[in-house]
Amino acid sequence: NAGVTQTPKFQVLKTGQSMTLQCAQDMNHEYMSWYRQDPGMGLRLIHYSVGAGITDQGEVPNGYNVSRSTTEDFPLRLLSAAPSQTSVYFCASSQRGGYNEQFFGPGTRLTVL
């Protein structure tokens, strides 16, 4: 099993550009989520999904969109990138929800100029 995979590993955007961060898992997990990690701060929940077709907001959802059309994939979209979105983004999945053991991807380091 590949576990949780994320692409790209690194990305540089200009302010106002849009992009999609990809996340996929091959463990048949129902629950998937996105976190951002900034220096001096803990991981913060952006959006999560408890199954295909179901998504909800986390702690810091503004500026991000998500969709979940399949169990395997959970892409994160930045509609109009801002410098404040410079961060490392982690996707995670688990078998039974956000309270359970989370499997994290390797992360995407995003810089917005």
Partner 1 sequence: SQKIEQNSEALNIQEGKTATLTCNYTNYSPAYLQWYRQDPGRGPVFLLLIRENEKEKRKERLKVTFDTTLKQSLFHITASQPADSATYLCARFSGGGADGLTFGKGTHLIIQP
Q: What are the residues binding partner 1 (CB under 8 A)?
A: 4, 31, 33, 35, 40-45, 48, 50, 56-59, 90, 92, 97-107
Contact status, residue 77 vs residue 23, Cβ threshold 8 Å:
no
Query: Which lies closer to partner 1 via its Cβ, residue 85 or residue 89?
Result: 89
**Least distance in angstroms from the C-beta of 113 to partner 1:** 21
Q: How many CB atoms lie within 10 A of CB 49?
A: 20
CA distance 43 to 97: 17
Query: Which lies closer to partner 1 via its Cβ, residue 17 or residue 65?
Result: 65
